[in-house]
Amino acid sequence: MKILVCITHVPDTTSKIAFTDNNTKFDVSGIQFIIGPYDDYALAKAVELKESNSGNITVLCVGEVNVEPTMRKALAIGADDAIRVNANPTDSVFVAQQIAAIAKEDQYDLILMGRESIDFNSGVVHGIVGSLLDIPSVSPVMKLEIEGETAKMTREIEGGQEFIEVQLPVIAGCQEPIAEWKIANMRGIMSARTKPLKVIEPVACDKITSTLSYEKLPAKGSVKLIPAENAEELIDLLKNEAKVL
Amino acid sequence: MSILVCIEGDEGIIKKTSIEAVYYASETGKIIGDEEVIAVALGSYDTAVLENLGNYGATKVIHVNDEKLDKSQIGVYSEIFAELVQTTSANLVIMSKSSFGDNIGGRIAGKTGASIVSNVVALPNVSSEFEVRKSIFTGKAFATVSMPEGLKILLVKRNSVEVNQTDDKAVIEQIPLPNALNFHEKITGSEKAEGDVLLDDAEIVVSGGRGLKGPENWDMIEDLAKALGAATGCSKPVSDQGWRPHHEHVGQTGVKVSPNLYIAIGISGAIQHLAGVNSSKVLVAINIDPDAPFFKAADYGIVGDAFDVVPRLTEKVKSLK
Ligand SMILES: Cc1cc2nc3c(=O)[nH]c(=O)nc-3n(C[C@H](O)[C@H](O)[C@H](O)COP(=O)(O)OP(=O)(O)OC[C@H]3O[C@@H](n4cnc5c(N)ncnc54)[C@H](O)[C@@H]3O)c2cc1C
Ligand SMILES: Nc1ncnc2c1ncn2[C@@H]1O[C@H](COP(=O)(O)O)[C@@H](O)[C@H]1O
């Protein structure tokens, strides 16, 4: 089975977010970058599927050279080879067109992504790629089993879950508990250094969005503490002061 | 020109987020001038339900009344919407940011060559270009994004607009199920979450963390939630350990909620948890540890033992009814 896993290179979830250059650039100083947590689920699932079905895992990231350490991490966790599309990924359609171009060239049985990236939180790249390739796309997928040519999936929907069957090839936007995050072992880390990482230039994409400026969430005022002895007072405050009851 | 709104429903009931999307579309229509707001509803709905979309600014509702569409299949829904985008010559498509919008908005964008911005939190600014504000870094920041000329798709985050209502009714146009649809996905079943109030739609959420010690103590959370008419949520370790179902897990890797009131009980306030709640209007933390990070994010707090405080709050709420 040929699996493509699309990963993002994003700030660690504990990062403090700040901007520079008059709020037009993300401040990377002191930021630890990681594989997007949802993409990490996708990768872990790919590794599990490879273990039980054999096959090949290609990891793909649209990003500039600074994303390569993150891609090596994915190779250490279990991907066999990597493709980097050399571009700054600023727009969902742009990213999707890059992924689709690669997937058209090289046919994959399964394309696994995260349900969303944790920097831009769009959650749309899988759908765009799906329609560009004219294959089904399903997200967020909590459970995925492959039986022959059929993918059986559990998809989370607002207020419940849904069980879906589709024929391969398919794109899935993954989320927990699809698989347990994997940690690279020493052998993986060593072998990752020599696994192939191909760099290609992006395909052209005209109509794209551009980010004009950023803004941090306004700082919160300080908390109003109610002594535990008078806990009931909280309810009065919520009713009369905050007016949310 | 027209604005198309993709409606999301469940068993004939239109989701609150879709009503917000209709209202967002009609307000946007006023900003860009003279736009018809067309809502598209797929599957079985009562006529009255659809007419009432007029209350929120829809001028027309296109309804494909076919049982085959009662479950929202991503592929087929996207095909129908994309087709209608062309036939109505829409220049803007609006829907909610949800597991429906993510999938369907993305596919429509791929099919029609539209540009797309997801997680939009405010009405567009069109004074120079078409600019929208979106939430990024899981609620920790915002970006102002400009969109190119041509068809645009916006996925609107819940609670981004305050909806006003009129008595206007929408005109309904029934159209048949298009031929040659590809029903690729087979939905073989579904399961509903338990509880009276859904986490996603809730105005109030009562959430419990590891501080509650075990699943046997959740009655306390449920009692308070019930008294408040709230949904219940939890932290990740709580669902990881199977104390609560996975879909209740709030945060970076779980549900992102934006209710009027979020009450966190025995939750430390890890940054990944806060990422899922930071767009709530009012945050309350109840924690035995005065140094719990949640107090830095909260509007109101009680430093105390949940097992003492929570039942008393429940009694107090009941006494107000
Ligand atoms: C990539 C990544 C993603 C993550 N995503 C999420 C996510 O989406 N959601 C999420 O929740 N977490 C997430 N986490 C985990 C997160 O870092 C924390 O570990 C988690 O939120 C802690 O849960 P908790 O507050 O319930 O437990 P704890 O941190 O153990 O806190 C329990 C709290 O209960 C208090 N307490 C104890 N006894 C009482 C009592 N009797 N009365 C009142 N208070 C009491 C304690 O003082 C403490 O503050 C993620 C982590 C990572 C690395
Ligand atoms: N720059 C990128 N390179 C590779 N894959 C990406 C990139 N951006 C997004 N994706 C994939 O698309 C998913 C959804 O991203 P998004 O639509 O940005 O929230 C992510 O979880 C990734 O799997």
* d(CA A114, ligand 2 centre) in Å: 7
User: Is A179 within the bounds of a domain?
Assistant: yes
User: Is A189 within the bounds of a domain?
Assistant: yes
Measuring CA to CA, which residue among A110, A114, A130, A140 is closest to residue A50? A110
**Angle A112-A117-A122 from CA coordinates, rounded to 5°:** 105
* Token pair for B61: 């509702």
Ligand number nearest CA of B288 is: 1
Long-range contacts of A48-55 (CB under 8 A, 24+ apart): A48/A179, A49/A1, A49/A3, A49/A110, A49/A144, A49/A146, A50/A1, A50/A3, A50/A78, A53/A1, A53/A146, A54/A1, A55/A1, A55/A2, A55/A3, A55/A109
pLDDT at B42: 96
Question: Is residue A102 within a helix (H) or strand (E), and if so which, with residue range?
Answer: helix A92-105
Give the minimum alpha-carbon distance from B199 to chain A in angstroms, rounded to a whole number: 7
Q: At the fourth CATH level, which superfamily is domain B2-174?
A: HUPs (3.40.50.620)
pLDDT at B159: 84
Q: Please give the number of the atom of ligand 2 that sits closest to the Cα of A36.
A: 21
* d(CA A41, ligand 2 centre) in Å: 13
Half-sphere exposure of A91 (CA within 13 A, CB side): 23
Ligand number nearest CA of B155 is: 2
pLDDT at B321 over 80: no
Mutate to test the pocket of ligand 1, among B213, B218, B244, B253 (most ligand atoms within 8 A of CB): B253
Report domain extents, chain B: 2-174, 199-320
Selected residues 83-122 of chain B with any CB under 8 Å from a CB in chain A: 97-100, 102-111, 113, 115-119
Strand duo A56-62 + A81-85: pairing: parallel
C-alpha distances in Å from residue B283, one per residue of A227, B140, B228 = 17, 15, 15
> What is the complex's ipTM, to 2 decimals?
0.91
Question: A164: helix, coil or strand?
Answer: strand
User: Quick check: B98 and A220 CB within 8 A?
Assistant: no
User: Quick check: B143 and A211 CB within 8 A?
Assistant: yes
Question: Is residue A184 within a helix (H) or strand (E), and if so which, with residue range?
Answer: none
B216-238 pLDDT, tens digit per residue, is 999 999 999 999 999 999 999 99
How many domains is chain A partitioned into structurally?
A: 1
Question: Is residue B157 within a helix (H) or strand (E), and if so which, with residue range?
Answer: none
Measuring CA to CA, which residue among A40, A21, A18 is closest to residue A29? A18
pLDDT at B181 over 90: no
Long-range contacts of B45-51 (CB under 8 A, 24+ apart): B45/B9, B45/B12, B45/B14, B46/B12, B47/B172, B49/B12, B49/B13, B49/B14, B50/B170, B50/B172, B51/B169, B51/B170, B51/B172
User: Quick check: B191 and A160 CB within 8 A?
Assistant: yes
Selected residues 84-143 of chain A with any CB under 8 Å from a CB in chain B: 91-93, 96, 100, 115-116, 118-132, 136-140, 142
User: Is A245 within the bounds of a domain?
Assistant: no
pLDDT at B35 over 90: no
Which chain B residues have a beta carbon less than 8 Å from that of A173?
A: 102-103
The residues, ordered by sequence, that sit 6+ positions from B202 with a Cβ below 8 Å of its Cβ are B230, B231, B257, B259
Residue found under tokens 């120079």: B128
Query: Model pTM greater than 0.95?
Result: no
Residue-range definition of the domain harbouring residue A186:
2-218
User: Is A157 within the bounds of a domain?
Assistant: yes
User: Quick check: B131 and A122 CB within 8 A?
Assistant: no
pLDDT at B105 over 70: yes
Which residue in chain B is spatially nearest to A216 when comparing CA positions?
B141
Residues with CB under 6 A from ligand 2: A 6-8, 36, 38-39, 60-63, 89, 92, 95, 113-114, 116-117, 120-126
Contact at 8 Å (CB) between B116 and B132? no
Which of B17, B107, B268 best tests the A interface by mutation, with the highest count of A CBs <10 A?
Answer: B107
CATH of the domain at A214: 3.40.50.620
B196 — pLDDT class (breaks 50, 70, 90): low
CATH topology of domain B199-320: Rossmann fold (3.40.50)
Mutate to test the pocket of ligand 2, among A117, A133, A176 (most ligand atoms within 8 A of CB): A117
Nearest CB among B187, B295, B301 relative to A162 is that of B187
pLDDT at A206: 80
Which chain B residues have a beta carbon less than 8 Å from that of A231?
A: 302, 304, 308-309, 312-313, 316
Q: Strand locations in chain B, DSSP E?
A: 2-6, 9-10, 13-14, 36-42, 60-64, 90-96, 115-120, 130-136, 141-147, 152-156, 171-174, 186-192, 204-208, 231-234, 261-265, 282-287, 300-303
Contact at 8 Å (CB) between B111 and B213? no
For helices B99-112 and A125-133, the axis angle rounded to 10 degrees is 40
User: Is A191 within the bounds of a domain?
Assistant: yes
Amino acid (1-letter code) at residue A165: E
B255-269 pLDDT, tens digit per residue, is 889 899 999 999 999
User: In sequence order, what are the beta bridge partners of A19?
Assistant: A26
pLDDT at B195: 67
pLDDT tens, residue order, chain A (245 aa) = 999 999 999 999 888 899 999 999 999 999 999 999 999 999 999 999 999 988 999 999 999 999 999 999 999 999 999 999 999 998 999 999 999 999 999 999 999 999 999 999 999 999 999 999 999 999 999 999 999 999 999 999 877 889 999 999 999 999 989 999 999 999 999 999 999 999 999 999 888 999 999 999 888 889 999 999 999 999 999 999 999 99
User: Quick check: B320 and A131 CB within 8 A?
Assistant: no
User: Is A228 within the bounds of a domain?
Assistant: no
Q: Please give the number of the atom of ligand 1 that sits closest to the Cα of B307.
A: 41
